[in-house]
């Protein structure tokens, strides 16, 4: 696609790229992700965009029901993203914090909490509560 200068970006591609890169926000390029359900119409279009080099496929989540897509630099250039926005979208990327586990809603990184009843240590990583927690139940 990059060699074909006569190729015109379809409006649905342009709309998805603009949403992915947060073009309508106060700081375009503040994000570079689009989460699509696999049974959504946008998913098919995003897969086409991957074939054209405008997007790349990211990780799956929610037991494989959803997929993240990310714009490529080529995709950003096709919608006319300026240099500052390109820097935000592709250079200033920060690591994503751990996602919550879909089954429990708790973060993947174990977090220490204290029981409101006995003050014992409670972990949300699948291990049982500390002995004596919750009224002495083990």
97 Rama class: left (phi>0) / alpha (psi -120 to 50) / beta? beta
**What's the predicted TM-score (pTM) here?**
0.63
Q: Which domains does the chain have, with CATH numbers?
A: 11-90 (1.10.10), 102-138 (no CATH)
Q: What is the pLDDT of residues 55-107, one digit of tens each?
A: 999 999 888 899 999 999 999 999 999 999 998 888 865 555 555 555 555 55
DSSP tag of 93: -
Q: Give me the helices (H) in the chain, please.
A: 11-20, 41-52, 73-78, 83-90
Q: Tell me the pLDDT of the chain averaged across its residues.
A: 77
């Amino acid at each position: 696609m990059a060699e074909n200068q006569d190729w015109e970006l379809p409006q649905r591609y342009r709309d998805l790229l603009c949403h992915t890169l947060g073009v309508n926000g106060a700081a375009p390029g503040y994000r570079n992700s689009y989460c699509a359900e696999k049974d959504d119409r946008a998913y098919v279009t995003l897969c086409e965009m991957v074939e054209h080099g405008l997007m790349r496929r990211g990780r799956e989540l929610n037991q494989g029901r959803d997929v993240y897509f990310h714009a490529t630099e080529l995709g950003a250039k096709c919608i006319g993203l300026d240099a500052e926005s390109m820097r935000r979208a592709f250079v200033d990327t920060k690591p994503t914090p751990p996602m919550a586990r879909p089954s429990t809603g708790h973060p993947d990184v174990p977090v220490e909490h204290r029981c409101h009843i006995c003050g014992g240590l409670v972990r949300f990583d699948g291990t049982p509560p500390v002995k004596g927690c919750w009224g002495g139940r083990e």
